Amino acid sequence: MAMISLEVTDLKQWRYCARVVWYHYCLPAVRPVTALMAHGIAHHHDEEGREERRSLRPYGLTAGERHFDLALRSEVLGLRGRLDLAVATPDRASAGAEAVVVEYKDSEQRPGAHFKLQLAAYALLLESAWGLPVRSGWIYQIPLRQAVRVPITPALRRDVAATTAAIQAAVGGEAMPDPPTSRRPCVNCEFRRFCNDVV
Ligand code: SF4
């Protein structure tokens, strides 16, 4: 089976519950946009307006060229997605330029490993699109108005490749993944009615 183009958000979701990603691709007609998802999308757009007025200081930068809601895609990586903010510093044309990736998060909780994995996937996509190294990503926590730095390490890069391959294999093989160890994600899951074996 040919490699499908996965959403970057699938990597984060895969960590939360692999079945949700599997349902998304193998039962594509059944996924609704929940009220919570709609709220999150609206909040992200509000944040872009504020970000345009904000300095680059939260990201440890003094100069940079900002690109909001940037569509990224790579056939080689098998990934696509929309990055909240990409910054080239000092700009894309300068010798020695670098880039950073920024994602907004509507939460006060310290970003978990799944958010870092998603950010690393955006970093790889941006490197591929712009041809600039991405050594750091930032997760901007909207309620706290603070940014958390995430180094884009070799281990995170390998994790992106391994997770992408695992999702591709599961979707291509059409074998439904096991549920998560904890049943906590099942409480508000829109796929509950398909998981009679666990809920
Ligand atoms: S009900 Fe639970 S196991 Fe089933 S898809 Fe949702 S989170 Fe995963």
Q: Which ligand 1 atom is at minimum distance from the Cα of 16?
A: 7
Q: How many residues does the chain have?
A: 199
186 falls within a domain: yes
Residue nearest to atom 2 of ligand 1 (CA): 186
Handedness of CA 100, 105, 110, 111 (dihedral sign): negative
On the question of pLDDT at 35 being above 60, the answer is no
C-alpha torsion 155→161→166→167, nearest 10: 120
50 falls within a domain: yes
Residue 39 CB partners (closer than 8 Å, separation 6+): none
DSSP character for 193? G
161 falls within a domain: yes
Number of domains in the chain: 1
Lowest pLDDT segment from 104-108, 117-121, 160-164, 193-197: 193-197
CB 12 within 8 A of CB 118: yes
Residue 36 CB partners (closer than 8 Å, separation 6+): 188
Asked if residue 176 has its Cβ within 6 Å of ligand 1, the reply is: no
Percent pLDDT > 90 in the chain is: 65
1 falls within a domain: no
56 falls within a domain: yes
Which domain CATH number covers 73?
3.90.320.10
Over the Cα atoms of the chain, what is R_g? 17
**pLDDT value, residue 46:** 67
Q: What is the pTM of this model?
A: 0.88
Q: What is the pLDDT of residues 69-115, one digit of tens each?
A: 999 999 999 999 999 999 999 999 999 999 999 999 999 999 999 99
Alpha-carbon gap, residue 102 to 8, rounded angstroms: 14
**pLDDT value, residue 63:** 87
Find the mean pLDDT for residues 58-66: 91
**pLDDT value, residue 48:** 65
197 falls within a domain: no
Helices (H), the chain: 8-16, 18-26, 35-53, 113-130, 154-173
The region that residue 78 occupies, defined by phi over 0 for left and psi between -120 and 50 for alpha, beta otherwise, is: left
Q: What is the pLDDT of residues 155-176, one digit of tens each?
A: 999 999 999 999 999 998 878 8
99 falls within a domain: yes
On the question of pLDDT at 38 being above 70, the answer is no
Q: What is the mean pLDDT of the chain?
A: 88
Residue nearest to atom 7 of ligand 1 (CA): 186
Q: How far is the CA of 176 from the centre of ligand 1 (A)?
A: 11
Q: Which ligand 1 atom is at minimum distance from the Cα of 194?
A: 4
Residue 76's domain spans which residues? 6-192
Q: Which ligand 1 atom is at minimum distance from the Cα of 180?
A: 3
**pLDDT value, residue 191:** 87
149 falls within a domain: yes
Alpha-carbon gap, residue 197 to 179, rounded angstroms: 9
Model confidence at 131, pLDDT cuts 50, 70, 90, reads very high
